[in-house]
Structure 1
């Protein structure tokens, strides 16, 4: 007789998204079962780009030290034409979220670091060789039936019941197909050959995108002396032909002095896809990562988009499971993530069309236009600093409009006619975007990243004042129920004074770099309600804080919870890693 094994969440798929989501839920004390059909993690290279937003999430779950050795920070990309002339450079220098904007990385090693990190949480387990073939959902739970092959070849079935199931099984997601969710978009017919080798025969550390009309290509230097090439294939070239060693060697003849001596990791043909699911939740089942969106490789955003999903969904599941919010909160996962995922897909498709032009006349026109535009410093820096990449901005979800304090929606601009707003240097609303992460100083630690100081849950950040003196008792009681940390940021020169003046329950941070002062100086929003995923839920003047908080709680379907069932704050935060 089959027994049913219980946990809070079942995650199907031990890829990077499933592993990160399990780490986040484990950090919040939730029980998780990860079911993976394969017998081990995938060990061949796939994604090659890791961005600053993803590194911030890695920091949150305390795995910076484990991941950092498998990365190549400040990964510069150069777009070159058929003659080898550089027509565009992408080398962003900003570190607003605490980390370099771009890293090359070895995905199998980073994925394994995420997997090994799960051993810290005794509420999380990963079961390999468990293929989910049927899922049954009722009003209170969802049960996954997994097929398991024993060492003797005998097949058995195990049943896993949870309150929610998240499908993270990749682009062919059985979860998405079972739910009947549409996967909208396109799959361009262009095929590419990817070639990975060990002992990089070139040794150059960065990325070259070859916009060569004869055969567009990519050459990428990666950590651990791995080199990747990708070559666009012509329609008359079969998969057997292009994976033949002699053919591959002929492609590499213009790149490597002696291709015959290369140590190949793999040679594989793939097709780009640009698709986004119509919605990411159906009842007690959700999809994330490639199961919810597939994008071409050009912007290096497939892995990172999956990390954004896990970052967004993890705290929401933890909140619902703790009893602090109605599960309507989970509907905001689609509201907040779908549009940005689609924007990244569209940008990747557009960039791919720009690179893979094969008509010589059109390619010459592209090269001439790029050369002319590079003469303008503003245009050149637009590409160099990666400002063409759409940063996530949530306009619907767990938000409060900074002007009207409407729950669940937030305009992108501040429109109040009050003088502090009319005279502000920056009228772009900070609500719905990520808060920066400069370094700060506390009584106990110097020069640490902001997130390591404030912890992994909700925070109320106030510039230059004691939040307990700016908020009424009712609001403070609600914030205590939510488990929010009260934070005061002051110039480093005032930190000792603030430590004595302010309430003992307020975390005082010294802004020794001046970067937070600059942020608050530019915006008429001295009070910021910061979500666990580091997005701003609300920002306002002091007198608007109670109404702003009420709107945020309405948007997140907050119901409160007894102290003993609230989401843990602080005690489960991984050790700070501010390398």
Structure 2
């Protein structure tokens, strides 16, 4: 059979789920193809950052998605000599959530799947592989499945993993940044008796030269080890449950009676990035576009950022509010940002895996001297939808992650997004709703911008989050995007109106256009 729809999504992991949920809520007709017959059901990622936790406020019921999650406030680093060399300090919030959370991934996926199941315009076809893509030259692509069905869509999005069919089918090249030949073994445990030395919540790297490993929680009541196999280890022997329990007792110091082993998986890393994220009306994201080592905890987060970025842009283009050129900013913004995490994760991998004892000793000395927190700051988004000043420079905080605070509106109190909803947010200490005028007001409405006036009798900034942020940056107004990045800041009425006009000029079509 043949059908014509708005968007086909290939792959239904965290990125595909995020995209289907955020885009599907706007009523666009979406079909998702997933080659596996049912959800995987086991955790892959074990950490999430506050930015992506905020996105889950809109893609799912956050209480369900983040059930059994715990904040990761510190990460210890132990050197090859068995002494602690430093720690990461993550005891702060980002986007209204703890900067880093440990969690049970199936909860996140099940919560997004439940939300998607409520959307009659989104259909998920489990156990269905895509075997062919054909562009018709008129802006549509026909997707053919292994069962012989075909669907014609305006846009096709490949979120189908590191060995992506979609990416390969449209001829997007992949740059292998580093070839990994070492083997690692990941083991998950359920805690059945309290663990010694706070090991149920502690998170650390043991940088033993011969066999480094990571230990940490995997959500409430679950823990995980990730261990480099020795060169001569036999994979079949190492995969046995007994070997995981032996390691637990010998290296971590936990008697086996305290846990129930739930999974033991051998794997190798990938450090690679696609040469593009778009070809015609076909886009890729998630592991299809980039794969990285787990040492920054950013693989799934980067994938879901892709989905959130693309979702709001596709929505505006499909509704005819924006021209198709807006979609060019997806690759422009996301590819360089993803490369930062691929290369940063590789640098962390090399720190964990020195090639000589002398390199290990030098690393330990460096970590001790710096306190261990050597993570570089995350760069802002660039080359896309960010506020520019009259001289062409980026405005203050443009492209940075937006803040979120607790507010009160009437009798209701909570995180801002929970009270005002998902979308662009224009937040100001000025009465901008009265200042923008009818023409701007209509165009802001086309974008779905929430105009929020902070102050007595309006929206109360309960914890002073917005007051402090605006004061720090000498601003009265902030404008954020649906993917929770800042478009920019402004100070005073005139500059605030200029900020608004810049967004409208960059995003909106002069007149509404067909998708």
Q: What is the TM-score of this pair, normalised by structure 1?
A: 0.82
Q: Whole-Å Cα distance in 1 between the matches of residues 488 and 225 of structure 2?
A: 45
| 1:189 equivalent in alignment to 2:181 | yes
| 1:160 equivalent in alignment to 2:151 | yes
Q: Secondary structure at the match of 2:44?
A: coil
Query: Does the C-alpha gap of structure 1 residues 313 and 343 become closer, same or farther in structure 2, counting only changes over 3 Å?
Result: same
| 1:512 equivalent in alignment to 2:459 | no
Q: Secondary structure at the match of 1:40?
A: coil
Tell me the equivalent position of 1:501. none
| 305-314 or 66-75, larger mean C-alpha shift | 66-75
- Give the counterpart of 2:399 among 415, 428, 432: 432
How far off its partner does 1:133 sit? 0.4
Query: Does the C-alpha gap of structure 1 residues 198 and 459 become closer, same or farther in structure 2, counting only changes over 3 Å?
Result: closer
Tell me the equivalent position of 1:240. 236
Q: Whole-Å Cα distance in 2 between the matches of residues 96 and 475 of structure 1?
A: 31
Tell me the equivalent position of 2:388. 401
Q: Secondary structure at the match of 2:92?
A: coil
- Give the counterpart of 2:300 among 300, 303, 307: 303
Q: Deviations over 1:162-186 (max 9, x none)?
A: 2111111110011111111121122
Q: Whole-Å Cα distance in 2 between the matches of residues 105 and 289 of structure 1?
A: 19
| 1:267 equivalent in alignment to 2:264 | yes
Q: Whole-Å Cα distance in 1 between the matches of residues 53 and 247 of structure 2?
A: 35
Tell me the equivalent position of 2:447. 482
Tell me the equivalent position of 1:531. 481
How far off its partner does 1:521 sit? 1.6
Kept after mapping to 1: 8 A contact 2:65/2:110: no
Tell me the equivalent position of 2:424. 458
Q: Deviations over 1:76-100 (max 9, x none)?
A: 3211124442212123122141001
Kept after mapping to 2: 8 A contact 1:77/1:90: yes
Superposition RMSD in Å: 2.4
Query: Does the C-alpha gap of structure 1 residues 455 and 249 become closer, same or farther in structure 2, counting only changes over 3 Å?
Result: closer
| 1:105 equivalent in alignment to 2:103 | yes
Q: Whole-Å Cα distance in 2 between the matches of residues 258 and 399 of structure 1?
A: 53
Q: Whole-Å Cα distance in 2 between the matches of residues 250 and 468 of structure 1?
A: 65
Query: Does the C-alpha gap of structure 1 residues 459 and 196 become closer, same or farther in structure 2, counting only changes over 3 Å?
Result: closer
Q: What is the TM-score of this pair, normalised by structure 2?
A: 0.92
Query: Does the C-alpha gap of structure 1 residues 200 and 169 become closer, same or farther in structure 2, counting only changes over 3 Å?
Result: farther
Q: Which sections of structure 2, spanning at least 5 residues, go unmatched?
A: none
Tell me the equivalent position of 1:343. 340
| 1:251 equivalent in alignment to 2:251 | no
Query: Does the C-alpha gap of structure 1 residues 227 and 338 become closer, same or farther in structure 2, counting only changes over 3 Å?
Result: same
How far off its partner does 1:444 sit? 3.6
Kept after mapping to 1: 8 A contact 2:35/2:128: yes
Q: Which sections of structure 1, spanning at least 5 residues, go unmatched?
A: 148-155, 375-379, 415-428, 497-507, 567-579
Kept after mapping to 1: 8 A contact 2:134/2:141: yes
How far off its partner does 1:75 sit? 5.1
Q: Secondary structure at the match of 2:67?
A: helix
Tell me the equivalent position of 1:521. 471
Q: Whole-Å Cα distance in 1 between the matches of residues 339 and 192 of structure 2?
A: 35
Q: Secondary structure at the match of 2:160?
A: coil
Query: Does the C-alpha gap of structure 1 residues 488 and 248 become closer, same or farther in structure 2, counting only changes over 3 Å?
Result: closer
| 1:355 equivalent in alignment to 2:347 | no
Query: Does the C-alpha gap of structure 1 residues 544 and 42 become closer, same or farther in structure 2, counting only changes over 3 Å?
Result: same
Kept after mapping to 2: 8 A contact 1:143/1:162: yes
**Count of aligned pairs between the two proteins:** 507
| 1:276 equivalent in alignment to 2:276 | no
Q: Whole-Å Cα distance in 1 between the matches of residues 379 and 142 of structure 2?
A: 34
Q: Whole-Å Cα distance in 1 between the matches of residues 357 and 312 of structure 2?
A: 51
* Superposed counterparts of 1:87-166, under 5 Å: 87-138=85-136, 139-147=138-146, 156-166=147-157
Q: Whole-Å Cα distance in 2 between the matches of residues 92 and 32 of structure 1?
A: 38
Query: Does the C-alpha gap of structure 1 residues 199 and 517 become closer, same or farther in structure 2, counting only changes over 3 Å?
Result: closer
Q: Deviations over 1:515-571 (max 9, x none)?
A: 211222222432333222222224334223444434333333534439xx99xxxxx
Q: Whole-Å Cα distance in 2 between the matches of residues 198 and 517 of structure 1?
A: 43
Q: Whole-Å Cα distance in 2 between the matches of residues 520 and 259 of structure 1?
A: 52
Q: Whole-Å Cα distance in 2 between the matches of residues 433 and 262 of structure 1?
A: 41
Kept after mapping to 2: 8 A contact 1:11/1:167: yes
Q: Secondary structure at the match of 2:96?
A: coil
